[in-house]
Amino acid sequence: MIRGRGAAAAVAGVVLVLAAAGCSGGGTPSARGDAVSGASVSAGAGAVALVPLPSQVSVGGGEGYALSAGTVVHGEGGAAATAVAGDLASLLRPVTGLALPVVGTGGASGLVVRLDAAAGTGAEGYRLVSGPDGVVITAATGAGLFHGVQTLRQLVPVKGVGTVPAVRISDRPRYGYRSGSLDVARHFFPVADVERYVDLLAQYKFNVLHLHLTDDQGWRIAVPGLPGLTGIGAATQVGGGAGGYYTAADYRAIVAYAAARYITVVPEVDLPGHTNAALTAYPDLGCAGDAPAQPYTGVGVGFSRICTGKESTYGFVDKVVGALAALTPGPYLGIGGDEADALAPADYDAFMARAAAIVRAHGKQPVAWDEAAGAGKDGPQLLGVWHPLKLEPAGLAQQLVAAAQRGAKLVMEPADRAYLDQKYDEQTSLGTSWAGYLSVQKSYDWDPDGYLTGLPAGSVTGVEAPVWTETLSTVANLETMLLPRLPALAEVAWTPQAERGWADFRQRLAAQQPRWQAQGLSYQRADGVPWGS
Ligand code: IFG
């Protein structure tokens, strides 16, 4: 057994990844081992290259578990264990070619998924222990078991019947809000594409899918009583393509698919700016004198507004929010709030407070972009911090600190670190670069708690990786921008800051490449990563 603490370092093909310091996100303080002794490591354990890096991993000290035709998957301790055991079998059957029958009883051998309310692993953590007789994943929750399965996926060979190295893992996330945000307004992505994106989020332990459902170029969710929103507002997209939208049934399917992977859907209708599509359907949403909205297929921002001075506008907001809240089991509902450049600040702030009240009246917590900090204590209290420090409007950082001091929570997604529509470098054909080029290292090498100075401890509740789709119209386009930077942000969101470092991460990231290839995923061979063939 190799014990100790400190960052990971690859040694002789086996990763000496040592006990992590306590996590800032409520993780249990880890046992600080002594310095790494001359402990022998099991030869041939093979490199254990996990992304995101678990908060506590020790490798070696005996034989691993050799999968075989006789391997059985046990789901033990309740329905969630049975369901996750099924997930595990479904994921490993195509990889191993084994039958991997699932049984609902306990077992000391094989692959055991054990739900134990007393496991002490928190809301999303798990333990994973592997040895000659088998692998046991233990967690107090289904989410924890599911995250343990994602780790086990990376411990088996990319293809074929292999051996799970002897490891002992105790793991839980740094942040509780780990989000991927997908813009389906600039370019529409049908349900199957969204499900493929959810699969990627699940593989890297994200637990939120933020769907950016409406914008100037398209309104993508049907709202009962407002047929024009999709009848007219969904008819196009950037570049003039056919657009599209989700029916209630489509949206429910996405919610169910995400929920089965312990991912909560956060829908966003962007208000009071980014509203051209709604205005093409319902011109009365605009102020008198505003030019009538035409379908927009460009990529500009900040030009549109609904009329915050009309009472009828709030009836519209109520109908839209009510419809979406009724379809959304999760606690959050996004009302946008970004780039409302056509509005006076006071009108904007007042609107955001009223819209937030409407969301609360429908039983949801409002989420908004960072500009909404100016709406004060009546505004949304969960804010997506997206402006890069170097480009932010004067006073925004101070407003965000003030909001945090009065209890608002921040989801860090600064465009110069987390916007995956930004080009990797000047050679990248897709994407834009208004926030600067975003290398893999730049998306990895930052501390969400330290991006804004002066925040009270605990203000940052999570991290989000948005992918805006002005220039992305296919799944392959998305995946090229998501891989490899999404896994980088997954580790930023999951792994204790003190336990992660670029020199080690880049090695573990490169080891993900054959897994992406086996899954038929598109990815960018971005600079700075020691890619294989
Ligand atoms: N900013 C806009 C997005 C998108 C983005 C592209 C936010 C919150 C630039 N708003 O990011 O709609 O256009 O990088």
For range 27-37, the mean pLDDT: 35
Give the model confidence (pLDDT) of 148-165 as tens digits.
999 999 999 999 999 999
> Residue type at 186?
R
Q: Are 415 and 435 in contact (CB under 8 A)?
A: yes
Return the residue whose CA atom lies nearest to atom 5 of ligand 1: 468
Ligand 1 environment, Cβ below 6 A: 301, 338-339, 369, 386, 419, 421, 432, 468
Catalytic annotation on 491? no
Give the model confidence (pLDDT) of 185-234 as tens digits.
999 999 999 999 999 999 999 999 999 999 999 999 999 999 999 999 99
**What confidence tier does 391 reach under pLDDT thresholds 50, 70, 90?**
confident
Task: List, in sequence order, every beta strand (DSSP E) within 403-448.
Answer: 409-412
Q: Which of 458, 464, 470, 468 is nearest to 443 (CA)?
A: 464
Please determine, for residue 37, whether its predicted confidence score (pLDDT) is greater than 60.
no
Give the model confidence (pLDDT) of 239-280 as tens digits.
999 999 999 999 999 999 999 999 999 999 999 999 999 999
- Ligand 1 centre from 257 Cα, in Å? 26
Q: Are 259 and 329 in contact (CB under 8 A)?
A: yes
Q: Are 254 and 267 in contact (CB under 8 A)?
A: no
Residue with tokens 């948005």: 466
What pLDDT sits at residue 418? 98
Q: Are 509 and 484 in contact (CB under 8 A)?
A: yes
Q: Are 36 and 4 in contact (CB under 8 A)?
A: yes
Domains identified in the chain and CATH numbers: 23-171 (3.30.379.10), 177-500 (3.20.20.80)
Pocket probe for ligand 1: among 339, 341, 387, 392, the residue whose CB has the most ligand atoms within 8 Å is 339
What pLDDT sits at residue 1? 28
For range 322-328, the mean pLDDT: 98
Please determine, for residue 113, whether its predicted confidence score (pLDDT) is greater than 50.
yes
Please give the share of the chain, as a percent, with pLDDT higher than 70: 91
* Nearest atom within ligand 1 for CA of residue 432: 14
- Ligand 1 centre from 280 Cα, in Å? 21
Instruction: Report the run of H or E that residue 510 belongs to, with start and end.
Output: helix 502-510
What pLDDT sits at residue 394? 87
Which long-range CB contacts under 8 A does 202-205 form with residues at least 24 apart?
202/146, 202/150, 202/261, 202/262, 202/263, 203/150, 203/153, 204/51, 204/52, 204/150, 204/486, 204/487, 204/490, 205/52, 205/124, 205/147, 205/150, 205/173, 205/178, 205/490, 205/494
User: pTM of the full predicted structure?
Assistant: 0.91
What pLDDT sits at residue 47? 59
Pairwise CA distance, residues 79 & 30, whole Å = 30
Pocket probe for ligand 1: among 303, 386, 416, 464, the residue whose CB has the most ligand atoms within 8 Å is 386
- Ligand 1 centre from 339 Cα, in Å? 8
Return the residue whose CA atom lies nearest to atom 3 of ligand 1: 468
Which one of the listed residues 63, 311, 339, 499 is annotated catalytic? 339
Instruction: Report the run of H or E that residue 129 belongs to, with start and end.
Output: strand 126-131
Return the residue whose CA atom lies nearest to atom 11 of ligand 1: 386
